[in-house]
Amino acid sequence: QSALTQPASVSGSPGQSITISCTGTSSDVGAYKYVSWYQQQPHKAPKLMIYHVSNRPSGVSSRFSGSKSGNTASLTISGLQAEDEADYYCSSHIPSSTYVFGTGTKVTVL
Amino acid sequence: QVQLVQSGAEVKKPGASVKVSCEASGYTFTSYVMQWVRQAPGQRPEWMGWIFGDSGNTQYSQSFQGRLTITRDTAARIAYMELGSLTSEDTALYYCAREKAGDAGFDPWGQGTLVTVSS
């Protein structure tokens, strides 16, 4: 199973909005609602930010939102803040109850 | 609160096996799936497999077929990940993570266990 494709880096100024894409196929992202997004700060474990394409766990800022169109899922961060600087990974359920992660996107706040 | 605490760092020689533990607290261990994910230095997370706390049913990534075993001790509320025939490419941080009900993502994650494979 190949990794989901994400841009290597995305940057924005404080207060701006940025969007990270996650492109898969009709067998993974396009087939299921089970797309998740994780934020990983340096030397920390990943943190769940979005599940089921567009749902936020309790405690996650409403500045984070998710969507999906066809085989591409997206994570949007609105009102970008310095604390949002991190690596972001998407993940999708794939057949046979297995999972695949994206290639990862480094978000830089300018 | 839900917490996952993993065992400490390991150094292994090529060809050896490693067993990492993940002790769960704050929830009903048998009602959830425990996932295992690893992350090599500077790389993306790589899904390894899962175990259902109640039945002990497992699913493994084909990438580890034959050398990965995930087990659990329900009385102690501990999940284990054992990886055999280690090579230098297995050097990574190994994480356990609880799968939220309804396949709703992995949350929370353990603190990670560094496994270093070196001769």
What confidence tens digit (pLDDT) does each residue in B28-87 have? 999 999 999 999 999 999 999 999 999 999 999 999 979 999 999 999 999 999 999 999
Q: Is the Cβ pair B100, A48 closer than 8 Å? A: yes
CB of A9 less than 8 A from some CB of B: no
Q: CA-nearest residue of chain A to B103? A: A34
What confidence tens digit (pLDDT) does each residue in A5-47 have? 999 999 999 999 999 999 999 989 998 899 999 999 999 999 9
Q: What is the pLDDT of residue B63?
A: 92
Q: What is the pLDDT of residue A32?
A: 87
What confidence tens digit (pLDDT) does each residue in B77-114 have? 999 999 999 999 999 999 999 998 888 899 999 999 99
- The confidence band for A2, taking pLDDT boundaries of 50, 70 and 90, is confident
3-class DSSP state of B52:
strand
Q: What is the pLDDT of residue A97?
A: 76
Task: Compute the nearest-CA separation of B1 from chain A (Å).
Answer: 13
- Looking at chain A, the whole-number percentage of residues with pLDDT higher than 90 is 86
CB of A100 less than 8 A from some CB of B: yes
Residue A63 has pLDDT above 80, yes or no: yes
The mean pLDDT value of chain A amounts to 95
A-B contacts at Cβ under 8 angstroms: 65
Q: Which of A37, A40, A48 is the best residue to mutate to test the B interface, defined by the most B CB atoms within 10 Å of its own CB?
A: A48
